Structures are given as structure tokens and as C-alpha cells.
């Protein structure tokens, strides 16, 4: 397998699709998690600063005045503020620092428009601490008493912890996403390879199979899934192909054999006749013999053609037709023959039996059956009976002739099958196979029941349309 072929395999494409899909989905997921997480963390820092500022303001205002002495001892009443690592600074209304606590107390934070004051004058600012290169978040809020600006409180906190958390999250995402994508791609490659193994073996078997060698099978254990069903269908298809191939081969062999017999007879006639000079009458006799052999040949070739056409279902042109009239016409054709053999004809066909069928082919079907009935009956009667059932018509052609042994019943519809080929009757063993192929082309059924020495009944059921 070349590199390009390997890349174009289904398993490779499937793994590639899985990887692409997962990369897109996981990157989207990672960005979403990171953005949400960083904004939530920033918001929680700001919330904490605001809360601490409120606590600080409460602690510094006393009776409407700022009560701040050196070192902000009042704020020690809220020790938790310092414990949290906060920096707190109290400024008067002019922006002059009155007192400060905490690690970043010396960081200069300007107050926007200190003279304006008012409630709106709050702000957040992020500064860089030059000493340890840490970002510090500062919150400035005015200290008001009866709408009078007393001063400002500034609360600051390092963002180091938050940035650390975000960095760890980013590292976790950057490691886990490629890992997950890699694992999923390998997993899907292995899974698809396993799933497709039977398809590979189907391909190899199909490559091995030739028309002469149709007995190869996959024999894949039926897993009741799509691939299992495909393998089972492939095997049954091969079964059908092999059977029909064998049937065709048998048919060709039988046909050649049957065609050879009259040809050999003709060659023999020629050879014998040419041995010496003959009288004109003898030559005439030879021509008569030739004529009957050619007739046999012609009949057989026509029968073979009919069978071949019937197999392809090409020779049927169904239309609405009156079966009653057709059966009565066929009976009329046979009347002289029956009379000459002194056989009775029992015709019991109701009026106006209408079916959808091909009259030429149906005539051929009944002629074949009646031909056999007359051929194999020396005394008694030949019956043609028909009756209509629910959406179908049943026709029975019966005789009181030699009958058919039980062991032969299953084969008489086979091509070239003749029960006793040495019987003096004419025929090539194709009549009943043609009859059957006509019935099948009409979506009907043909059955035979027979009693040796008592006669046979061929029953045909044809759908009404
Ligand atoms: P064939 O040309 O020999 O008649 P068919 O296919 O029509 O070929 O019939 C096959 C064989 O079935 C015949 O050779 C004959 O032995 C047997 N058969 C068919 N119809 C009858 C029947 N009505 N009575 C007895 N035997 C029959």
C-alpha cells in the first residue's frame, strides 16, 4: 500500500475526522472555560475589594468625621482585612494620605477628580508593583457622611494568586487537549480497523473469486451488526451465483449433448448413403430422414431460445385476455389427435375467465401439457378443467395415462429430464421446463400429482391480474 493509498483508507480518514472534530470542540471548550474562569476570578477579587472597602469605611468614620490616627489602629478592629493580605489606605478629601496598612501601601494610586467627590467617584485600577513585578488591583471609594466627602479609602490586593490559578488552568488545558485528541484518534483508528477487518476480507475474497472458483466463502461469524449482515449477504449471494453458474454449465453441457445427437444421426446418414450409389427412392428416403432430424433440431433450438428468453423475463407481454376462449381453442386443436387415439375430452371451463397474461405463451404452456397428456395416455380421457378462486384461476390438465413414479416427480420440470429416454415417445425433455418458466413469468405456480398406471394431473394457478 502506498502512502497515498494508506492516507485515503477509511480508517485513516475516520481518525482524521475524529481528531479534527475533537480539536475544534476541545479548543472551543478550553477557550470558553478559560474566559469564564478569568472573568469570574476577576469579579470575585473586585467583590472582595468592595466588601473590604465598605468594612474599612465603617471603621474609619465616627460621628460624621474621619477618625484616623497614625498607623490606622482603628482598622485593627477589622483584623480580617489584613489577614487577607489586603492593603488599605485612607486619604482625606484632598487626596492626602492619612494612614496606610499592608504590603502595597506605598504604591501611588491617583484619585480621579478628588474635588468632585460624590457617590459615582469609585474606580478600579490594576497597577504593577515594581518591586516584585506583581499586578495589584486597587479599589478607590469615597468616604461620605451626609453627602459630605470626608475622604477616600483605597483597598488593594495582589492578583498573583488569581494569575497563578489561571496559569495552572491554561497548562492543564494545553496538556489535556492534545492528549485527549491523540488518544481519541488512535482509539478511533483501532476501532475502525477492527470494524473494517471483515470488509477487508470481503475484498480479498472477491479478488480471489473467479467464475471457475465460486466456492470461496467468507464464513464470517454472524455478529448481527451491519458488517456481519454484509458478510452473510455476500456469502448467500455467492451461493446463488454458484448455483446458477452450475445450472448454466449443466444446461450448456446438456444442450450440446442433445444437439449433438441429431447432428450425429445426420452425419451417419450421409456417410452410409455415400458408401455406394442409391436409387432415387433411397435418396428420397434419406431426404425424409434428414427432414425429420432437422425438424427435431429446429424444435430444440426454438425451445432453447424460448427458455433463454423466459429466463430473462423478456418474452412476456401481459394484457387482459379471456382464458376460457384460449382453453377452448387449444382443446379444438387437440380434438383430431384425441379422436385418432380414441381418447375422450373432458372440457369443464366456466365462461369468461379473465386474466392478465400473455396469450402466445399461455397457448404454448397448455399445448406442452396436453401434448404430454396425449403422448403418455393410451386409453381413457384427457381433462381440461378450470375454476376461479379468490383473485386467481386454477387450471387442471389431467390424463388417465401411464402416470409418473413418485421419485421422478421432483425432476420432471428440470431441463432435458426425461423419465425414460428410451421410451418411443418423441420429445427433448424441455417441454415442462418451458411450461414452468411461463408459469413463473406469470407469477403463478405449477404442481403435479400422479399415480403410476392411473394418470397424472398438472395444476396451474395463475393470478387474475
Ligand atoms: P418431453 O419432451 O420428453 O415430453 P417434458 O419436459 O415435457 O419432456 O416432460 C419430461 C418428462 O416427464 C417426460 O419425458 C415424461 O417422462 C414425463 N411426463 C410429462 N408429462 C407426463 C404425463 N402427462 N404423463 C406421464 N409422464 C409425463
* Centroid of chain to Cα 12: 21
Considering only residues 450 and 121, tell me which one the structure prediction assigns the higher pLDDT.
Answer: 450
Q: Rounded to 5 degrees, what angle do the CA atoms 460, 463, 464 make?
A: 120
How high is the mean pLDDT of the chain? Answer: 85
Can you tell me which atom of ligand 1 is nearest the CA of 420?
16
Tell whether the model's pLDDT for residue 339 goes beyond 90. yes
Average confidence (pLDDT) over 355-377: 94
Query: What band does 370 get if pLDDT is binned at 50, 70 and 90?
Result: very high
Q: What span, in angstroms and rounded, lies between the C-alpha atoms of 334 and 346?
A: 12
Tell whether the model's pLDDT for residue 210 goes beyond 80. no
Can you tell me which atom of ligand 1 is nearest the CA of 427?
2
388 alpha carbon – ligand 1 mean position (Å): 27
Burial of residue 265 (CB within 10 Å: 0-12, 13-18, 19+) is middle
Q: What span, in angstroms and rounded, lies between the C-alpha atoms of 358 and 459?
A: 18
Tell whether the model's pLDDT for residue 117 goes beyond 50. no
Nearest to 31 by CA among 172, 170, 178: 170
Number of separate helices (H) and strands (E) present in the chain: 10, 14
For 181-190, 226-235, 321-330, 360-369, which range has the lowest pLDDT when averaged over its residues?
226-235
Q: What span, in angstroms and rounded, lies between the C-alpha atoms of 15 and 184?
A: 8
The pTM score is 0.58
Question: How much of the chain is in helix, strand and coil states, percent to nearest 5?
Answer: 55, 20, 30
Mean pLDDT comparison of 9-23, 74-88, 433-447, highest-scoring range: 433-447
> According to the model, what pLDDT value does residue 69 have?
60
Among protein residues, the one whose CA lies closest to atom 8 of ligand 1: 429
DSSP state of 464: -
Out of 254, 372, 425, mutate this one to test ligand 1's pocket (max ligand atoms within 8 Å of CB): namely: 372
457 alpha carbon – ligand 1 mean position (Å): 12
> According to the model, what pLDDT value does residue 208 have?
81
Q: What percentage of residues in the chain have a pLDDT greater than 70?
A: 89
CA atoms within 13 A on the CB side of 372: 27
Question: Is-contact 19 177, C-beta < 8 A?
Answer: no
Question: Is-contact 271 237, C-beta < 8 A?
Answer: no
Question: Is-contact 88 153, C-beta < 8 A?
Answer: yes
Sheet order of strands, 445-451 included: 344-348, 381-389, 392-399, 455-463, 445-451
Domain borders along the chain are: 11-165, 226-310, 317-463
Burial of residue 46 (CB within 10 Å: 0-12, 13-18, 19+) is middle
192 alpha carbon – ligand 1 mean position (Å): 58
Q: Rounded to 5 degrees, what angle do the CA atoms 341, 346, 351 make?
A: 140
Nearest to 339 by CA among 387, 376, 363, 374: 374
Question: Is-contact 180 21, C-beta < 8 A?
Answer: no
- Parallel, antiparallel, or unpaired for β 381-389 and 344-348? parallel
Tell whether the model's pLDDT for residue 114 goes beyond 50. no
Phi, psi of 394 (to 5 degrees): -115, 130
Q: Which residues contact 285 (CB under 8 A, 6 or more apart)?
A: none
Tell whether the model's pLDDT for residue 176 goes beyond 60. yes
Question: Is-contact 438 413, C-beta < 8 A?
Answer: no
Pick 317-463's CATH classification: 3.30.70.270, 3.90.420.10, 3.30.565.10, 3.10.180.10.
3.30.565.10
* Centroid of chain to Cα 16: 22
Query: What band does 336 get if pLDDT is binned at 50, 70 and 90?
Result: very high
Tell whether the model's pLDDT for residue 332 goes beyond 70. yes
Q: Which residues contact 186 (CB under 8 A, 6 or more apart)?
A: 15
Phi, psi of 28 (to 5 degrees): -60, -45
420 alpha carbon – ligand 1 mean position (Å): 9
278 alpha carbon – ligand 1 mean position (Å): 39
151 alpha carbon – ligand 1 mean position (Å): 125
102 alpha carbon – ligand 1 mean position (Å): 119
Out of 379, 432, 437, mutate this one to test ligand 1's pocket (max ligand atoms within 8 Å of CB): namely: 432
Query: What band does 459 get if pLDDT is binned at 50, 70 and 90?
Result: very high
Nearest to 155 by CA among 50, 78, 65: 50
Average confidence (pLDDT) over 423-439: 83
| Distance in Å from the first CA to the final CA of the chain | 56
Q: Which residues line ligand 1 (CB under 6 A)?
A: 368, 372-373, 376, 399, 401-404, 412, 417-419, 427-433, 456
Radius of gyration of the chain (CA): 52
Q: What is the 3-state secondary structure (H, E, C) of 239-258?
A: HHHHHHHHHHHHHHHHHHHH
Can you tell me which atom of ligand 1 is nearest the CA of 430?
6
Q: What span, in angstroms and rounded, lies between the C-alpha atoms of 262 and 265?
A: 5
Can you tell me which atom of ligand 1 is nearest the CA of 377?
24
CB-CB neighbours of 305 under 10 Å: 11
Phi, psi of 65 (to 5 degrees): -130, 155
CA atoms within 13 A on the CB side of 80: 8
Tell whether the model's pLDDT for residue 61 goes beyond 60. yes
> According to the model, what pLDDT value does residue 98 have?
82
Question: Is-contact 185 19, C-beta < 8 A?
Answer: yes
Can you tell me which atom of ligand 1 is nearest the CA of 425?
3
User: Taking the domain 226-310, which CATH number applies?
Assistant: 1.10.287.130
Domain boundaries 11-165, CATH class: alpha beta
CA atoms within 13 A on the CB side of 346: 13
Query: What band does 119 get if pLDDT is binned at 50, 70 and 90?
Result: very low
Can you tell me which atom of ligand 1 is nearest the CA of 434?
6
Amino acid at each position: 500500500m502506498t502512502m497515498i493509498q494508506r492516507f485515503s483508507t477509511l480508517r485513516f480518514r475516520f481518525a482524521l475526522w475524529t481528531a479534527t472534530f475533537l480539536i475544534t470542540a476541545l479548543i472551543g471548550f478550553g477557550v470558553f472555560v478559560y474566559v469564564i474562569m478569568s472573568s469570574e476570578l476577576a469579579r470575585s477579587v473586585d467583590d472582595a475589594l468592595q466588601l473590604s472597602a465598605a468594612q474599612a469605611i465603617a471603621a474609619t468614620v465616627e460621628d460624621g468625621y474621619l477618625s484616623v490616627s497614625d498607623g490606622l489602629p482603628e482598622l485593627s478592629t477589622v483584623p480580617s482585612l489584613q489577614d487577607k493580605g489586603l492593603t488599605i489606605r485612607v486619604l482625606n478629601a484632598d487626596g492626602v494620605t492619612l494612614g496606610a496598612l499592608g504590603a502595597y501601601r506605598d504604591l501611588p494610586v491617583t484619585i480621579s477628580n478628588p474635588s468632585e467627590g460624590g457617590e459615582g467617584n469609585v474606580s478600579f485600577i490594576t497597577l504593577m508593583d515594581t518591586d516584585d513585578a506583581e499586578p495589584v488591583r486597587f479599589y478607590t471609594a469615597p468616604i461620605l457622611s451626609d453627602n459630605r466627602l470626608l475622604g477616600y479609602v483605597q483597598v488593594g490586593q495582589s492578583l498573583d494568586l488569581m494569575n497563578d490559578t489561571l496559569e495552572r488552568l491554561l497548562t492543564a488545558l494545553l496538556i489535556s487537549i492534545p492528549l485527549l485528541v491523540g488518544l481519541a484518534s488512535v482509539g478511533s483508528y483501532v476501532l475502525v480497523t477492527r470494524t473494517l477487518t471483515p470488509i477487508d476480507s470481503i475484498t480479498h475474497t472477491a479478488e480471489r473469486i473467479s467464475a471457475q472458483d465460486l466456492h470461496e466463502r467468507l464464513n464470517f461469524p454472524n455478529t448481527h451488526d451491519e458488517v456481519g449482515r454484509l458478510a452473510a449477504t455476500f456469502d448467500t449471494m455467492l451461493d446463488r451465483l454458484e448455483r446458477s453458474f452450475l445450472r448454466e454449465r449443466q444446461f450448456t453441457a446438456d444442450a450440446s449433448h442433445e444437439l449433438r445427437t441429431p447432428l450425429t444421426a445426420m452425419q451417419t446418414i450421409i456417410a452410409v448413403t455415400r458408401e455406394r450409389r442409391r436409387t432415387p427412392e433411397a435418396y428420397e428416403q434419406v431426404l425424409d430422414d434428414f427432414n425429420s432430424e432437422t425438424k427435431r433440431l429446429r424444435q430444440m433450438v426454438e425451445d432453447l431460445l424460448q427458455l433463454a428468453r423466459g429466463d430473462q423475463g423478456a418474452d412476456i407481454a401481459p394484457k387482459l385476455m379471456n382464458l376460457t376462449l384460449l382453453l377452448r381453442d387449444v382443446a379444438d386443436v387437440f380434438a383430431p389427435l384425441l379422436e385418432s387415439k380414441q381418447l375422450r375430452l373432458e372440457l369443464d371451463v366456466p365462461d369468461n375467465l379473465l386474466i392478465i397474461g400473455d396469450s402466445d405463451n399461455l397457448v404454448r404452456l397448455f399445448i406442452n401439457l396436453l401434448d404430454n397428456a396425449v403422448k403418455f395416455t393410451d386409453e381413457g380421457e384427457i381433462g381440461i378443467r378450470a375454476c376461479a378462486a379468490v383473485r386467481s384461476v386454477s387450471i387442471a390438465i389431467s390424463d388417465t395415462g401411464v402416470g409418473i413414479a413418485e421419485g421422478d416427480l421432483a425432476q420432471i420440470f428440470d431441463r432435458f429430464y426425461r423419465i425414460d429416454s428410451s421410451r418411443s415417445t418423441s420429445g427433448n425433455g424441455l417441454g415442462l421446463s418451458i411450461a414452468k418458466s411461463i408459469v413463473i413469468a406469470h407469477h403463478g405456480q405449477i404442481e403435479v400429482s400422479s399415480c403410476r398406471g392411473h394418470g397424472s394431473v398438472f395444476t396451474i394457478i395463475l393470478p387474475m391480474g
